[in-house]
Copies of this chain bind each other. A is one copy, B any other.
Amino acid sequence: MVPIPVRCERESAGLRRQQVLDAAADCFRRHGFHSAGMAQIAREAGMSVGHIYHYFDNKEAIIAAIVDRDLARIIEILEGFRNAEDILKAMIRQISIDIDAHTDARDSALQLEILAESSRNPEVAKLARAKDEVGRRLLCDTIANGRLQRGLPPLQAPELAARVDVMIALFEGLNCRGVSHPQLNRDQVSAVLGKVVRQLLED
C-alpha cells in the first residue's frame, strides 16, 4: 500500500533472485548442471531449498535465467562500442580482455555446461538460440557501422553473417581450449587471434 515498502519488497525479491543466480552459476561452473544439487545451490545462496522454488519454477528455469543475464552483459558490451571514435579499433582492443574471459577454465565450464544442456534440453536450447541470434544481429550491426565509419566497402549480408559466425566460433572455441589446453600461451594466441580478427573485420 505504501510505495516505499513495495519498492523495497520488489528490490529485495530481485536481490534474492540474483543471489540464487550467483550461487547457481558458481555451482554449475564447479560441478556441472546435473551434478550441482539444489541443496548446494540453496546453501550457497543462503536460503532454503524450498524457497528457491518461489523464484524459479525448476532447475531448468535457473539456467534459463543465467542465459538471459549473459545476454544482457553481451548487449551492454556491444552497445558500448556504438559511440566509439573508431568502432573496429575498439572491438579489436576488447579482444585481449575477451581472451582472458574465454580461456578462464571456470567461466568456460559454465558456458560449456549451458551448451551441452541446450544440445538436449529443448527449453534451454530455445533460449540459448534466441540469445545467440540477438548477439549475432548486434555484432553484424556494430561491424557494419564500424566499416561505414572507416569508409570501408559495405559487406553483403550473408558474407557479413558468415564472418560473424566465424568470429563467434573463434571465441567459443577458446572456451573449449581453456578446458582442453589450459596452459595455452595467452599472449601468443592473442597476437594470432588479433590478426585473424582484423582480417575478418577490415578486409
Contacts and interface: CB of A to CB of B under 8 A. Distances in A.
Given A119-B179, A177-B169, A179-B125, A158 B113 contact: no
A162 B129 CA distance: 30
Contacts of A64: none
Copy total for this chain:
4
A75 to B, nearest CB: 16
B196 A192 contact: no
A118 B158 CA distance: 36
Contacts of A118: 179-180
Contacts of A32: 34, 116-117, 119-120
Q: How large is the interface on A (under 10, 10 to 19, 20 to 34, 35 or more residues)?
A: 35 or more
**SS class of chain A's interface: helix, strand, loop or mixed?**
helix
A132 interface: yes
Contacts of A176: 115, 169, 172-173, 175-176
B112 A162 contact: no
A161 B188 contact: yes
A131 B168 CA distance: 25
Contacts of A172: 172-173, 176-177, 180
Contact of A166 (B120, B161, B165, B189): B189
A73 B129 CA distance: 31
Nearest to A162: B188
A101 interface: no
Nearest to A176: B172
Interface string A10-35: 00000000000000000000111011
A69 interface: no
| Nearest 7 CB-CB pairings of A with B | A173-B173, A169-B173, A162-B188, A172-B176, A109-B119, A34-B34, A132-B180
